[in-house]
């Protein structure tokens, strides 16, 4: 039975080593072959051989002469092939075999052949991967056509020249390719093909098991899965840096894989894991800033801001001078009347991470007015009633929490907390638009020592500053990350 860990020796590819069996001889297939002839001529006292491909002779003897095309030219110094389509049933019969490359030139010491048999003996000296039968139209074998396609897709070359060596270059319309490089690429493609065949066989076996045997008894015959071979994920990752066409399933799978392998990554490459964490935090923070900016543009009511800060308590935590932890949102701090009405509810309760001191946060909106529009004396603007009401509300919540702390402290979330000093924070409004108003707000805030006032713009700017530090890779970036404050 096939197992999920089944493997094949062909799963490993080493194109540098280039090990692998030679190609099989071309089996006769007369439907793919054409008639060929060879003439030996003399030019400037030197013998040359010319190989021709012929169309079928006409059935009517009085018809036109059969088509005749040059297939190869052999001189003592070079062999030139003009690969052509050899199958008579194809519409492109005797046309050039490739779209752009019309000539393959192979310099060397060649013996001028006097017959088709001698010409095909010369073909044995070509690298593996070339056709060995003149009647097949010469050129590369079908499985190696991608070498030609790669050259044609990237260049305007019309001639391929095969030389000794391990290099590739282009000059004018001639693309020069080293034999060793050709052979290495040819072997690599062959090994990829064998590997694909082995993987396809494994997949078919797994499919047969999972669709036929597994449904009979799912516990006795569990579903089998194909396992990635060592190095396969690395190859996919290399490709992914160039191809961004990944969907949500791909990203979810990568996330699960990193989470699963995190302990081993921490042992093998802890720096990479730290860099990944830093990048995730940086990207996450950028996304958070984008959401914050979008909300400011919408200018929603308190309910929307309450949900946003409950989802992202880190945004509020950066307003404190010390590390804090969220206890809960919409915290009941007391204050009910005898008929059960008048319950005092704080928008957020935090605790200092090290000492356990409790903090109250009251959330208003970006529309909350902070200052009077008209100055009351000179350039000074008095605090607006909306801001004063928010401060008074927060002070009342502090008083209720302090008075009722004994019973509130019994809740598990309040374990280890105290109300020796309750820090109060109001988040409201936008930054004033004029220098006089900004100075007036600062003077007022400095006098309200029991309640800190922070604007939505100031929270956003703090987030941006942290993101800039993380993006610059400064020494303080790690400490400024979200986890440092929770």
> Which residue numbers in the chain have pLDDT < 50?
1-21, 234, 238-242, 338-340, 474-486
In the prediction, which pLDDT does 79 show?
A: 94
pTM value surpassing 0.75: no
243: three-class secondary structure by DSSP: coil
Q: Where are the domains of the chain?
A: 301-454
In the prediction, which pLDDT does 2 show?
A: 38
pLDDT digits (tens, 9 = 90+) for 210-268: 888 888 888 888 988 777 666 555 455 544 444 556 667 766 766 776 677 777 777 77
Fold classification of 301-454 (topology level): Trna Endonuclease; Chain: A, domain 1 (3.40.1350)
In the prediction, which pLDDT does 10 show?
A: 36
In the prediction, which pLDDT does 321 show?
A: 82
pLDDT digits (tens, 9 = 90+) for 146-189: 999 999 999 999 999 999 998 999 999 999 999 999 999 999 88
- Please, what is the Cα angle at 319 between 315 and 323, to 5 degrees? 90
Q: Is the Cβ–Cβ distance between 128 and 22 less than 8 Å?
A: yes
In the prediction, which pLDDT does 100 show?
A: 94
In the prediction, which pLDDT does 232 show?
A: 52
Cβ-count burial 224-263 (b if 16+ within 10 Å, e if not): beeeeeeeeeeeeeeeeeeeeeeeeeeeeeeeeeeeeeee
In the prediction, which pLDDT does 162 show?
A: 94
């Amino acid at each position: 039975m096939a197992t999920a860990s089944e493997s094949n020796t062909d799963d490993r590819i080493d194109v540098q080593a280039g090990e692998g069996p030679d190609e099989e001889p071309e089996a006769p297939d007369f439907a793919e072959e054409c008639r060929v002839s060879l003439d030996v001529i003399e030019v400037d006292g030197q013998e040359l051989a010319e190989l021709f491909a012929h169309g079928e002779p006409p059935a009517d003897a009085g018809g036109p002469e059969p088509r005749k095309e040059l297939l190869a030219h052999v001189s003592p110094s070079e062999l030139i092939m003009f690969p052509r389509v050899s199958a008579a049933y194809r519409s492109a019969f005797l046309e050039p075999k490739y779209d752009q490359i019309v000539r393959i030139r192979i310099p060397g010491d060649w013996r001028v052949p006097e017959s088709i048999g001698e010409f095909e003996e010369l073909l044995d000296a070509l690298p593996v991967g070339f056709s060995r039968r003149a009647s097949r139209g010469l050129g590369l074998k079908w499985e190696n056509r991608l070498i030609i396609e790669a050259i044609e897709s990237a260049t305007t070359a019309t001639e391929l020249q095969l030389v000794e060596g391990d290099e590739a270059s282009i000059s004018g319309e001639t693309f020069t390719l080293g034999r060793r490089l050709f052979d290495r690429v040819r072997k690599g493609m062959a090994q990829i093909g064998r590997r694909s065949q082995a993987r396809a066989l494994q997949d078919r076996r797994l499919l047969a098991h999972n669709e036929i045997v597994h449904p009979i008894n799912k516990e006795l015959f569990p579903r089998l899965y194909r396992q990635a071979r060592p190095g396969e994920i690395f190859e996919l990752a290399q490709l992914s840096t160039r191809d961004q066409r990944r969907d949500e399933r791909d990203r979810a799978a990568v996330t699960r894989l990193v989470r699963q392998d995190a302990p081993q990554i921490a042992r093998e490459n802890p720096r990479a894991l730290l860099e990944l964490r830093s990048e995730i935090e940086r990207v996450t923070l950028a996304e958070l800033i984008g959401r914050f900016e979008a909300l400011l543009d919408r200018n929603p009511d308190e309910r929307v801001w309450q949900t946003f800060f409950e989802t992202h308590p880190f945004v509020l935590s950066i307003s404190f001078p010390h590390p804090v932890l969220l206890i809960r949102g919409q915290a009941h701090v007391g204050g009910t009347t005898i008929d059960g009405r008048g319950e005092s509810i704080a928008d957020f309760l935090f605790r200092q991470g090290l000492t356990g001191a409790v903090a109250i946060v009251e959330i208003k909106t970006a529309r909350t007015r902070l200052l009077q529009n008209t100055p009351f004396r000179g350039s000074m603007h008095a605090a607006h009633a909306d801001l004063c009401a928010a401060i008074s509300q927060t002070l009342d919540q502090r008083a209720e929490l302090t008075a009722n702390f004994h019973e509130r402290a019994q809740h598990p979330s309040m374990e280890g907390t105290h109300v020796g000093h309750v820090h109060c924070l109001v988040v409201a409004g936008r930054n004033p638009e004029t220098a006089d108003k900004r100075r007036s707000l600062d003077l007022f805030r400095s006098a309200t020592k029991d309640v800190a006032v922070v604007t939505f713009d100031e929270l956003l700017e703090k987030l941006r500053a942290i993101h800039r530090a993380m993006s610059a890779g400064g020494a303080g970036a790690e400490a400024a990350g979200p986890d440092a404050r929770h």
